[in-house]
Amino acid sequence: MFSAFRQVSRPATFAVRAARRPAVVGAFRATPFVRTLITKRYTEDHEAIVFDDSTMTGTVYITDYAQSSLGDVVFVELPVEGTNVLMGDQIGAVESVKAASDIYAPLSGKIEEVNHELSDQPGLLNKSPEDKGWLCKIKVKDVAEMENLLTEDAYKQHCEH
């Protein structure tokens, strides 16, 4: 009885396995996905960027360390969409009940998008600095500049000093 069951189930498993194989085009196999590398880097001024190599776009935000040091954020000055910036250029400012702080471009490129929600809800920088509190998206001009930014471990060490 079991051998009959094996005989019946074999064609079905073969069909499933065959369906999972990527199509062969010429000498190359077509893959069902594209590999994307997401890299997160930090500046010494407490900005961070999450870079997506498939779109060449980096999302800029202030770090959790920065928002906790600032206290309750009451105003955010955002960059202008379409502006070309160089690494280290001032692109905005954050004002809190404790202090004001400038925001600098972590990489060179063009400001593609700005988080306009921060104009009405600056407190998003405190509640969710890395998610809903992002500042802008930059179309990165020179990926090699990422080598000048801090890794997560290096940034943690920087904050401890």
| Single pTM value for the model | 0.76
Whether residue 45 is contained in a domain is answered as yes
DSSP state at residue 143: G
Distance (Å, whole) CA 114 – CA 93:
13
Q: Is 11 among the domain residues? A: no
- Within a domain: 88: yes
What is the Cα–Cα distance from 63 to 129, expressed in whole angstroms? 6
CATH number for the domain that contains residue 63: 2.40.50.100
Q: How many domains does the chain have?
A: 1
Give the model's pLDDT for residue 150: 96
Domain that holds residue 81: 38-160
Q: What is the pLDDT along the chain (161 residues), one digit of tens a residue?
A: 444 444 444 444 444 444 454 554 555 555 555 566 789 999 999 999 999 999 999 999 999 999 999 999 999 999 999 999 999 999 999 999 988 999 999 999 999 999 999 999 999 999 998 889 999 999 999 999 999 999 999 999 999 98
In a domain, 4, yes or no: no
**Within a domain: 17:** no
The DSSP H or E segment spanning 126 is helix 124-127
Is 16 part of any domain? no
Q: H helices of 52-107, where?
A: 64-70
The pLDDT of residue 161 is 80
Residue 7 lies in a domain: no
